[in-house]
Every structure is written in C-alpha cells, then in structure tokens.
Amino acid sequence: MGSRTPLFDAHVALGAKMVPFGGWDMPLHYGSQLDEHHAVRRNAGVFDVSHMQPVDVTGPAAKPYLQFLLANDVGKLAQTDAWTGRALYSCMLNERAGVVDDLICYHLGPQRYRPVVNAATADKDLAWMQERAAGFDATVTRRDDLAMLAVQGPSARSLAEPLLPASIRAAAMTLKPFHAAEGDGWLVGRTGYTGEDGFEIILPAEAVGALWQGLLDAGVAPCGLGARDTLRLEAGMSLYGQDMDEDTDPLSAGLGWTVAWQPPERHFMGRKALAARREAADLPRCVGLLLTGRGVLRAHQQVLLDGKHVGEITSGGFSPTLERSIALARIDAAAAAAGEVAVDIRGRAVPARIVKPPFVRNGQPKIDL
C-alpha cells in the first residue's frame, strides 16, 4: 500500500479505481476516463493532487538561493503595486544540466516562496534542495500539513468561487494566469496542467474534504490520473520521467523556453553544461506527432524517416478531443523539418505528421486534422 491523501476514503466511496502512483494510492478514474476528460474540456473537473509536495522557502536569501537552484529566474516575480502573488514554471537541474524535477514556484511575499514538486521525486527533491541551501540564509520546509486540488475547465473558476474563503474570493476571481492569491492558509493559483482555465488550490489538509464535497455538489466532475494524462498530452505538457529526467537537459526536452539566460551573471546549477549543450550540433528537437495511419502511439515507439531510426516517442496516446492518436517525440533536428515521418508500431511503419503542440487548448483543436 502507498501513502494516502486526506481524500482516500472519499475516492473509495465514489467507486474510484485506485492505483499506485509515485508512492501514493491514487484514483485512476471513477468509472469512465473518457467522460472525465470531456467534463474538463466542456465544463469542469476536479483532481485530488494532494500527492504533490509543497515546499516553503523562506529567509533573507530565499531569492538568491532559488536563483541558483532553478534554471528559470524567480527575479521575474518582483512585487508590483497590486500584486498578491505570482508563479513561474521551471526545471531544477543537476551539474550535468539533467532535469532533477520540473515544478511551479509561487512568490508569496518578501522572502517567501513556495515551489511545488512532483510526488514521485519529492523525497529526492527535498534532499537536493536542502543540501544546496547550505551557504544561503534560507530555510527549506516540507509542508505535509497541506492538501491540493486542481479545478479545471471553462466553468471551473465560477463553480469554485463560492467555496473560497471570503478574504481572498474577490482577489482570486481577478487573477491573471500564473498569479495567485493567499489568505486564511489557502493559496489559490490560476495555474493548471490540462490546457484549460481553472485554479490549483493549496489549503490546510483538514479543510480539503469540505472543498472536495462542495465542488462535487456544485456539479464539478471528480477526475483521476487517466484523464489528467490525456488532457496534459493534448495540451502538449511534459511529464517528468517520460519527457524528461536526470539524463535529459531542458533544451533536448523542448523546455528551452523555461531557461532564463539573462542576466548573464546569474549562475544557476547546470548553467555551464547547458550552455555547452546549447551549441551542440546533435541537439534534438521535440515535436508533436499526429498519426495518419491506423494504430495507437505509445511512449518508446521508434520514429522513422526513410526507414531509418531518427528518434523516439516520449509520450503518446489517444486524444479523446481530436479522436486521433497523438504523441510528443524527440527526434533528430534534420528529421524535424521533414513534415512526415513514420512510427514503428509492432513492426509496421505507420505514417504520422509532424505538428507543433499544443494539440488542444481551451477546448479547441490547435492543429489541422
């Protein structure tokens, strides 16, 4: 048995199919992964993501510490006059520029930040972060007292609004994307992992049951890991352990946009190795694939051009919105310009078209079918 979120009994009561994931027992679906996927695209769905790990970084050197730890620059999150909180997406790199983890980091006030790391890497990440805090006047605190729900979909924010604390309700409803409001121990960020609008809500663990039930009573569909994966794939969002890992640098993972090279004097972990990689002639490209033949795209299938191996699928599956098979793939730079490739599916070379992700955003196809 794995660890259990505060909502474990609620998931079981709803008939969820529970599966191990990153050391946790998590709901895969509540009867129909397909229905849950469409609920998020068309109305609203809620995911229990309490297995994700919030970490508070505080102290006089919290900012310079995170500027060293992360490839993106938390200096971009400087306070503004009407500011309540801001967030950025970043990779945390090792000395070789491999991705230790990808995360969202919230800036909550002077000397206060909250990175949220992945469940499967939480213990490793905490040890890594604490070791690298040596020499900085900064404290790294694991927040196991908190739970987290992601409410996603075109109706998500309006359905969640009445359930938010009165002290932050108005601020939450006026947030721009990648901004956050904090109050009464709650943090409400306008972020997500589905390609839809919505909130990610971090709150005291003892309050999450009431919020979960309130959302269900308001007509928000409970959604599991299965729908979360098809939604993020349609949105072209990477998954740690599949699309990147400690042996993959962010440039090779299609995450170059998350690296802040300016200011040039900012030294971050892995910068030297990443700068060298930036000039490499063999730097691959990350592309989207739309299968034009019959079959289903899966991770680790080989990508072919003129019968020769030119790369590999990192994430793949069936898109419920497009009703087509789609994938993210890492391929040779020369092959990325070809337009058409093939994928080895059980010994058959099945044609596929190279496209630019995302495949779906805000419920609408973003590629030509």
DSSP string, 170-212: HHHHTPPTTBEEEETTEEEES--SSSS-EEEEEEEGGGHHHHH
Helix 122-132 and helix 62-69: axis angle, to 10°?
120
For 273-323, the pLDDT digits (tens) are 999 999 898 899 999 999 999 999 999 999 999 999 999 999 999 999 999
Query: Is residue 302 included in any domain, yes or no?
Result: yes
Query: Is residue 338 included in any domain, yes or no?
Result: yes
Query: Is residue 54 included in any domain, yes or no?
Result: no
Give the residue numbers spanning the domain of 305.
Answer: 284-365
Report whether 86 contacts 112 (CB < 8 A). no
Query: Is residue 154 included in any domain, yes or no?
Result: no
Question: Which residues partner with 291 through β-bridges?
Answer: 352
Within the chain, which residues score under 70 in pLDDT? 79-84
Q: How many domains does the chain have?
A: 1
Output the CA–CA distances (angstroms, integers) from residue 187 to 40, 118, 202, in the order listed: 22, 18, 5
Residue 50, pLDDT score: 98
Calculate the CA 242 to chain-centre distance. Answer: 12
Rounded to 10 degrees, what is the CA torsion of 5, 8, 11, 15? 140
Output the CA–CA distances (angstroms, integers) from residue 28 to 16, 192, 195, 297, in the order listed: 7, 18, 19, 20
Query: Is residue 63 included in any domain, yes or no?
Result: no
Residue 81, pLDDT score: 46
- Residue 187: CB atoms within 10 A of its CB come to 25
Query: Is residue 250 included in any domain, yes or no?
Result: no
Closest CA to 89 of 110, 67, 104: 104
Residue 216, pLDDT score: 98
Residue 324 in tokens: 């087509």
Amino acid, res. 154 = P
Closest CA to 58 of 107, 19, 12, 18: 107
On average, the pLDDT of the chain sits at 96
Report whether 5 contacts 147 (CB < 8 A). yes
Residue 248, pLDDT score: 97
Residue 85, pLDDT score: 86
Helix 225-234 and helix 33-42: axis angle, to 10°?
50
3-state secondary structure of 9: helix
- The structure tokens 């729900």 sit at 149
Rounded distance, CA 153 to CA 175, Å?
16
Q: Phi-psi bin for 23: left (phi > 0), alpha (psi -120 to 50), beta?
A: left
Q: What percent of the chain is predicted at pLDDT more than 90?
A: 95
Closest CA to 111 of 179, 61, 67: 61
Looking at residue 311, which CATH number applies to its domain? 2.40.30.110
Output the pTM of the full model.
Answer: 0.96
Start-to-end C-alpha separation, the chain? 43
Query: Is residue 318 included in any domain, yes or no?
Result: yes
Report whether 243 contacts 253 (CB < 8 A). yes
Residue 148, pLDDT score: 98
Report whether 211 contacts 14 (CB < 8 A). no
Report whether 112 contacts 58 (CB < 8 A). yes
- The structure tokens 């599916």 sit at 345
Output the CA–CA distances (angstroms, integers) from residue 289 to 100, 106, 129, 296, in the order listed: 26, 33, 36, 11
Query: Is residue 325 included in any domain, yes or no?
Result: yes
Report whether 68 contacts 134 (CB < 8 A). no
Closest CA to 117 of 108, 109, 107, 129: 129
DSSP structure class, residue 190 = S
